[in-house]
Each structure stands twice: as C-alpha cells, then as structure tokens.
Structure 1
Amino acid sequence: MSDSNQPGIERIVTHGVFELDGGSWEVDNNIWLVGDANEVIVIDAAHDAAAIKQAVGGRHVVAVICTHGHNDHITVAPQLSADLDAPVLLNPADEMLWRMTHPDNEFRTLADGDVLKADGIELHAIETPGHSPGSTCLYAPALGAVFSGDTLFQGGPGATGRSFSDFPTILGSIKDKLGKLPPETVVYTGHGDTTRIGDEIVNYDDWVARGH
C-alpha cells in the first residue's frame, strides 16, 4: 500500500510484530519516501522489504534513515541497504536496540543537525530522546513536514512504558524541539494518522498532568 496527499511524500504501510522486554505486539508501520521521480530517502525499514522496494521502483535511494532502533522500525534495514545500495543511518544512542535485531550488521551515524537531501529536499535531523535514547525526527522545511517516528502521534507522545524509555524526557523533546516548529507543520507519524504540531502541543499541560 502506498499513499500520500503531499507531493514529495509517499507512504507505505506494512504489517509485522514489535518485540521488546519479552512481549510481542502486531503493528502496522508507516514507511515514508521523501523525494521525487529520480531519488528518494526511505524513512524507517519495517517488516516488508519487497513492498518498500516496489514503492521505490528504479529510483536512487540516498539513504535508509531509521527514526529509532525498535525492531519494527529496522526489521529489513540491512536487506534494503544491500538491495538498494544505500546506507542505513541511525542515532548511535540506539545501538543496543539495533544489536537486539541485527547483531552482525552495521549502520552509519545519524546525529542531531545532520542534513540529508533528496532532489534538493532537505531533511534536518532533530534528536528527540524519550521513546528511545536515540529517537530522531526528520524535519523538511520546504514541505512543512516532520517525520516523527514514535516520538509524537495524533493524540500525544509515544509510549514510554518499556526499557530505555522515559516519559519526562519525551515531554522535553516535544516541548523544546518539536514544539519550536511552526504550528502548521504536518506530523507524519511512525504509526497511524498524520496530525499537526499545533494541534498536539496545545495539550502539553494535559500530558504532564497525566504523568505517564
């Protein structure tokens, strides 16, 4: 499945299993392609390499960027790297999560402030720890878009009830990093529907009061 209403952005939805702390949950993941008819950046590498490669088609892939190291976002990253001749980028603070799924595969470092381009469209890496230590969002100013991974969803912050997660930290990331983006910025999430920064940040005090 591939869809998006925004030129320069395509969505693929794949289905698989998220595993952590001895539990497993069936999930649908959003994979985002950013670029044009010639080259793209793949954001997240969930479950189904064939579906992602089909959406890419014959285009050049600049990189496969993983927003964080949970297995459902990196499942097929090494395969895509080999098949598409593209590097995998991940914040190294999530290396321990990466090794749980890919003990023998490497990735390149994604750092706060890094800028990647696909056909002139810039993606700016913004470190947003909390859901995981290395969670990183990708802001595309020209598209008025941010790709939030599991840091921010329609309805609030990502989950922080499992290992390597922290609720006060994710709140700080949203307030101090994502909350500084223009309120009309569209949030393209790792799961589920899109939202806007302004529609979510107005609920910040409620999130704090909720305390989890």
Structure 2
Amino acid sequence: MAARIDKIVTSGAFELDGGSWDVENNVWLVGDDAEVLVIDAAHDAREILTAVGDRRVVGIFCTHAHNDHVNAAPALADATRAPIMLHPAGAPLWGMAHTDRRWDWDLADGQEIEVAGVRGTVLLTPGHAPGAVCLSFPDLGVVFTGDTLFQGGPGATGRSFSDFPTIIDSISTRLLTLPPQTVVHTGHGGDTTIGDEAPQLDEWVVRGH
C-alpha cells in the first residue's frame, strides 16, 4: 500500500498574550490503510479519530506548541495510545495549553520518522515559535511547515516567543534549500511550493522591517 496524504480542517480558538482569535487549522494525516502519522492535532480529537478510522496512529507530530496546534493532542493520545512528539524548546507554550501533562517524545533536528514505508526528516525552524519544526518527506515531494511558511510569506512573528529575523533565517536555510517542486502543506490555508515562495524572500525581509 502506498503512502498517501489526507487533510481535515478543524475550527477553534488561538489564544496568546491575552487575546483569542477564531481560526481554522489544517490537520494532516500521512499513512496508508494500516498506519498513520497525525500532524498537528488541532481542536477536535473526535473529528481526527473519524479521519484516522481503524488505522494505528504511530505518532502525533506537533509542528509547534501554540494551543491551536496541540489542544486536541492529549485526548487523541489517550484514545490511540500514540506518543505526542514535540521539540523540547516548545515547553513554555505547551505549558500554557496543558498544565498537567507533558508530551511523550522529544523531537530533534535531523530526526527521522517512518510511517507507511516513507521517512520524514525533522527540520528545526524556529521563529514563529520556539522549537518550531517542519517535517520533510522527500519521497512524497512534500514538506509540512506548520506556521513557519505559508502561501505568500512567513508565519506571524508579532506575538510573544516569536522573532522575525529568526524565522527568515529558518526559511532561507532550511526550507528554501529544498527542491523547488516540493509541495508545502501549511498549518492554515492553502498549499504552495518552495519554488513559488523562494523568489519572494527579499520582499519579505523588506516588508518585515
């Protein structure tokens, strides 16, 4: 069985710095008919479980620890017995969302995660949030970027725990070096490609300053 990618969109609130915003999040599932990796368990564990079906969940991968990307992770982990995976630098934000539970596995730059016969490589890409990571699957020609890179620009850096020069460095050194045809699956909104975003780097830098 060949690996495939499924997407569901869940809705809820993003909360930080005393504010709350209604958001829609992309939840990505990479796998086959037997097993699946969930990327960013957002808002609604029941909806994610419906998409998973009877497949074994090998892990719950968190691109970063903003509440809207991890708020359904513990419930999903309890239902599936799958480990929650997060870079340890995301601990301060994780603690804001979950005061009574830690994630299960520490992610590290360069770590490989295998599911359905394909391997994903963890890319450390801080800036939008501490410990933000992307997950690149070269054999599938895709990279999951969370809130680091979107169609038309980098993720937001105007709130606590974020930094614009850092996210630009992450994008330029870790993402724009991927093959230009690589499809970018984002944490919110539509897809793009590395080739479509790379020419805009200088414009982002000017705009960001």
Q: Please, what TM-score do these two structures have when normalized by structure 1?
A: 0.96
Structure 1 residues 31-180: aligned runs within 5 Å: 31-107=27-103, 108-180=105-177
- Superposed, 1:181-192 pairs within 5 Å as 181-192=178-189
SS in 1 for 2:10: strand
Looking at structure 2, the residues matched to 73 and 211 of structure 1 have their Cα atoms a distance apart, in angstroms, of 24
Question: Aligned partners of 2:120 and 2:86: how far apart in 1?
Answer: 14
Q: Deviations over 1:160-211 (max 9, x none)?
A: 0000000000000000000110000000000000000010011000011112
Residue 194 of structure 2 is matched in structure 1 by 197
Quote the sequence identity (%): 59
Could you tell me which amino acid in structure 1 is paired with residue 16 of structure 2?
L
Q: 1:60-99 deviations in whole A, cap 9, x for unaligned?
A: 1100000000000000111111101100000110100000
Given that 2:128 and 2:163 are in contact with CA atoms closer than 8 Å, whether structure 1 keeps it comes out as yes
Residue identity in the other structure for 1:30: N
In the TM superposition, residue 30 of structure 1 has moved relative to its aligned partner by 0.1
> Is the partner of 2:139 in helix, strand or coil?
helix
Contact 2:3 2:116 in 1 (8 A): no
Indicate whether 1:17 and 2:13 are aligned.
yes
Using the alignment, how far apart are the partners of 2:179 and 2:131 within structure 1?
23
- For 2:173 and 2:155, the matched residues in 1 are separated by 16
State the AA in 2 paired with 1:121: V
- Listed as ranges, the gaps of 5+ residues in structure 1 are 1-5
Report how many aligned residue pairs link the two structures: 207
The alpha-carbon deviation at position 7 of structure 1 amounts to: 6.2
Name the residue aligned to 1:3.
none
Unaligned ranges ≥5, structure 2? none
Residue 78 of structure 2: SS of its match in structure 1?
A: helix
Write the distance in 2 (CA, Å) between the matches of 1:157 and 1:53. Answer: 30
| CA displacement, residues 5-48 of structure 1 (integer Å, 9 cap, x when unaligned) | x9610001000000000000000000000010110000001000
Alignment partners' CA distance in 1, 2:208 and 2:142: 28
Counterpart amino acid of residue 23 in structure 1: G
User: Over residues 79-125 of structure 1, what are the superposed CA-to-partner deviations in whole Å (9 max), with x where a residue is unaligned?
Assistant: 11110110000011010000001011111201111111111111110
Letter paired with 1:163: S
